[in-house]
A and B are shown apart, each in its own frame.
Chain A
Amino acid sequence: MEQIITEFFAKSLHIILESRCPYVSSRNYSGEQVLSSLSPSSSSSSSSSFRPRDKWFNLALRDCPAALENIDFWRQSNLEPMIVDVILLQRPIDWDPLNFSPKTGFVSGKERHYYGSDNEEFGCEGKNERIIERWVLQYESKKNGGSTGSKKRSNCTSSHALYKKSILLLRSLYATVRLLPAYKLFRDLTSSAHIRMYNLAHRVSSFVEPFTRREEADMQRFVFTPVDTSCGRLCLSVLYRSSVVDMGSDPSTPISPQFIPEYVGSPMAEPLKRFPSGFVSQSSPSSSPFGRRHSWSYDLYRASPPSANPSPSPSPTYSDSHASLAKQRCRRLPPPSLPHHVPDETLVAYMKTPSYDEYWPSPVFSPSPSPSPPTYVPNSHISKALLRCESAPVSIPVTKLSSMPSLPNKQLMPPSPPLKATLLTAAENIAHCFMLQLLSFSKDRLHQISGARPSVNSSPSKSFSSRLSFQDDYDDGPFVVEDDEILDPSSRQTEIRLAGKVPTWSGLFELPGHPNEPGGTLFVKRSQDAAVGALVRMLNKAPPLHQDLQGSTLQTPTNSVKDTTEISEEPRVQQSSASNIVSSGLGLVTSKTTANALEELHGYRKMKDSLLKLK
């Protein structure tokens, strides 16, 4: 009989915890269901799968390690009351399921309770605990001394009857645990994969603090009919909260925590991180050699707002940044201080190297946006020219790069455009500097022009023919200066002087009947538009046509320049007109190809004809 009672305790605990411990039940549920479904008749095949403890009270249950762990105390036949508390754990509101980590003690406790394997070491840090059920099972032994008629009758109760009644009681218990409100919480925890904001825990003890009156007022009691035995009676009752469902119905997170090992971030959040996609397969952090690059670009991107002044204005794209840096160089003749947060030496090295090797025999000009100021030619007289030269090509890339298709989302930034721009810039710079060198060389000879024209004509013509040929090779204007420099009188004088060296060139663009025009100015134009503008200005200032130049000017159209070779011949034929042209001071050198020059020639011819007609 004692064994029946002991086993009764064990079985009742098993029944209770089986329906209140989420992990255990979910683990074994499927197995049990399979067994039951496979058996056509529950008697034949299922009997083989019954374990010895299943046969107690004819009730085969699923495994419940929690019950097995906790029943040892009561198996020692102490027959102490067994109190099972079912506790609802509610997580705090700010609990983040994504930060679910098994390392912290809090979470480890949570894991255990989620799996329902531990009850004694339950941690209640930051959780809201509420006892939602309290099962009390106790065996009230009867004293042998006091005896009544009913007790005498109960003494005669056989163990068989006790067993039968115990079976019935346990059946009722089994049905009851599924009808109580806490069962719904249990099913919610076990059925769905959602992370719930609550959990169920249990605590088995033999002595607990009774509920307060207020607590008990919120609970309902259900008492099972005690089973009388010869020596006492088994009593089972439960105190439960009927409003448990409202507590547990919290919004759940429909995802399970997963760690993303290589989370980089969305492209929208950090667009420039995908910048080196062409270089590295994974756009991850600083390990890549171009990490600095896009970090630099990113920094530039960040610092873009304060860019109203001509200080180094960062721009989102590399090319633009390059252009902007170049711009600022253009504006400030002394090389500007580049953003100091650009330690992009690797990039500089990358960008520098090919251009350096291929195009730049001497480290005169550095095309790359290195933070260090570009090294200039020690020649002072060329330094200014070089500055001009430097600024000149720089502005071109601005226009060039501005015409480049805007990179969408600032994500795709293949290295070729900036490299191209840089190389082009380098080439241009080289060409321009060569021309300037020639120019400066010819400058020195300006003083000799008046004295020896033929000599001037010959040599500079050759030089300028070479320059012209040079110019033909490059589409862009060889000499580009600022507009303000054109109006600079000092430079103008040099321009006037220079104009003398270019009789042929100015002859190309000579306006007939304009002997008193200001000295053939050989100046460098930034663009065709600027050149035309300058021409218009000159025309406006030009004195009326004179007949003196008729004879000389008539010669000019006859010697139309069609190619560089013809140009070289020009100076001999138009030597006389050259002087007039020098005095007139009209010369126009534009950055055009020969075809363009020819077109202009035709245009001017027409103008000449019209003017002659007017006259």
Chain B
Amino acid sequence: MNCEICQLKELDVEHFEIREVLRCILHTILFHRALGLVRPKDIDLELFEITYVQCGDVELERKTDEKIEQFIDRAEKHPNKKNQICLSFYEVKNKQPTWFTNKVERLYWEQWYINLNVAQHQKGHSGKSTSSKIVVDPGAEERTARRAALEASLRDVLFQIIRFVNEKKDHIPPVPNLEGVSFPYEITISSSSDSAFGMEMFKRMLQTGNPTMLS
């Protein structure tokens, strides 16, 4: 069983946008993996003109919100770092208990990496009062442009998810649970402090030419 990995397009988000962006992405993925009987719930983003779908599982919603809060805390503690959330779907394989291990093995068959580049707070907020007006006006335009770009990027990410779901269907194991999210999953948070993660990000930066590095 191969594990399909999907590296989603990196998004440059501001601190207050993390929650909405992550909710949107995570729930979209989970909706595609909740293959049991669901009543979809449409959720409108407040910051963007995007409507995403939740599978309607309350427990799922709670868990994802928990993880998102953890991510936000981590992003605050470690600014200027690439932060990543990994949504993994696994199968539980009960290994035969040996004298080494008695734990349940998880066999990941799918992993989604959500890469967020949390932007720093703009220095213009602490600027002088005299020049605050001058600073705010171009700042507002910049924010608007950045917001529009982020919305477009987020839409691209969602389409990326849909395409991936469409293209990769064979690796999905048989559905164990018909209720809610059919497959066990886990959400892990990692930052660029991790070596592997850092290498990955470095490679991506070299390839894409991250604008934050160029600024």
Residues in A lying within 8 Å of B, measured CB to CB: 32-33, 35-36, 40-43, 46-47, 50, 54-55, 58-61, 164-165, 167-169, 171-172, 174-176, 178-179, 183-184, 187, 222, 224-225
Contact status A165-B53, CB under 8 Å: no
Contact status A175-B39, CB under 8 Å: no
The docked-state distance in angstroms from the alpha carbon of A58 to that of B32 is 12
Name the prevailing secondary structure of the A interface residues.
Answer: helix
Residues in A with CB closer than 8 Å to B38 are 42, 58-60
B198 interface residue per 8 A CB criterion: no
Q: Which residue of A lies closest to B172 (CB)?
A: A164
Residues in A with CB closer than 8 Å to B40 are 59-61, 174
Assuming the A-B contacts A175-B53, A178-B42, are A40 and B162 also in contact, with contact meaning beta carbons closer than 8 angstroms in the complex?
Answer: no
Q: Which residue of B lies closest to A56 (CB)?
A: B37
Contact status B49-A178, CB under 8 Å: no
Contact status B28-A46, CB under 8 Å: no
26 A–B contacts from the bound complex (CB under 8 Å): A33-B41, A40-B58, A41-B58, A42-B39, A43-B36, A43-B179, A47-B37, A50-B37, A59-B38, A61-B40, A164-B172, A164-B175, A168-B32, A168-B169, A169-B166, A171-B35, A172-B162, A174-B40, A175-B53, A175-B161, A175-B162, A176-B162, A178-B52, A179-B158, A179-B159, A183-B51
The docked-state distance in angstroms from the alpha carbon of A46 to that of B56 is 10
Residues in A with CB closer than 8 Å to B159 are 176, 179, 222
Residues in B lying within 8 Å of A, measured CB to CB: 28, 31-32, 35-42, 49-53, 55-59, 155, 158-159, 161-162, 165-167, 169, 172, 175, 178-180
Q: Which of B31, B51, B159 has the most CB of A within 10 A?
A: B51
Residues in B with CB closer than 8 Å to A224 are 166
The docked-state distance in angstroms from the alpha carbon of A36 to that of B57 is 10
**Smallest distance from the beta carbon of A68 to chain B beta carbons, Å?**
18
Contact status A164-B35, CB under 8 Å: yes
The docked-state distance in angstroms from the alpha carbon of A165 to that of B170 is 9
The docked-state distance in angstroms from the alpha carbon of A54 to that of B40 is 11
Q: Which of A32, A46, A54, A171 has the most CB of B within 10 A?
A: A171
The docked-state distance in angstroms from the alpha carbon of A179 to that of B159 is 8
Name the prevailing secondary structure of the B interface residues.
Answer: mixed
The docked-state distance in angstroms from the alpha carbon of A56 to that of B175 is 16
Contact status A175-B37, CB under 8 Å: no
**Smallest distance from the beta carbon of A273 to chain B beta carbons, Å?**
50
Contact status B39-A36, CB under 8 Å: yes
Q: Which residue of B lies closest to A42 (CB)?
A: B56
Contact status A225-B166, CB under 8 Å: yes
Assuming the A-B contacts A172-B165, A175-B162, A225-B167, are A41 and B35 also in contact, with contact meaning beta carbons closer than 8 angstroms in the complex?
Answer: no
Contact status B165-A168, CB under 8 Å: yes
**Smallest distance from the beta carbon of B167 to chain A beta carbons, Å?**
5
**Smallest distance from the beta carbon of A157 to chain B beta carbons, Å?**
10
Q: Which residue of A lies closest to B43 (CB)?
A: A178
**Smallest distance from the beta carbon of B202 to chain A beta carbons, Å?**
32
Residues in B with CB closer than 8 Å to A164 are 35, 169, 172, 175
Assuming the A-B contacts A168-B32, A175-B158, A179-B155, are A36 and B41 also in contact, with contact meaning beta carbons closer than 8 angstroms in the complex?
Answer: yes
User: Which of B50, B57, B166 has a CB less than 8 Å from the CB of A42?
Assistant: B57
Residues in B with CB closer than 8 Å to A187 are 51
Q: Which residue of B lies closest to A236 (CB)?
A: B166
**Smallest distance from the beta carbon of A122 to chain B beta carbons, Å?**
27
Q: What are the nearest 5 A-B pairs in CB distance?
A: A225-B166, A43-B179, A42-B56, A60-B39, A58-B37
Contact status B56-A168, CB under 8 Å: no
Contact status A58-B41, CB under 8 Å: no
The docked-state distance in angstroms from the alpha carbon of A368 to that of B51 is 77
Contact status B180-A171, CB under 8 Å: no
The docked-state distance in angstroms from the alpha carbon of A225 to that of B162 is 10
Q: Which residue of B lies closest to A228 (CB)?
A: B169
User: Which of B28, B35, B53, B158 has a CB less than 8 Å from the CB of A168?
Assistant: B35
Residues in B with CB closer than 8 Å to A41 are 57-59
Contact status B39-A35, CB under 8 Å: yes
Residues in A with CB closer than 8 Å to B169 are 164-165, 168, 225
The docked-state distance in angstroms from the alpha carbon of A58 to that of B162 is 18
Contact status A42-B162, CB under 8 Å: no
The docked-state distance in angstroms from the alpha carbon of A167 to that of B169 is 11
The docked-state distance in angstroms from the alpha carbon of A484 to that of B155 is 97
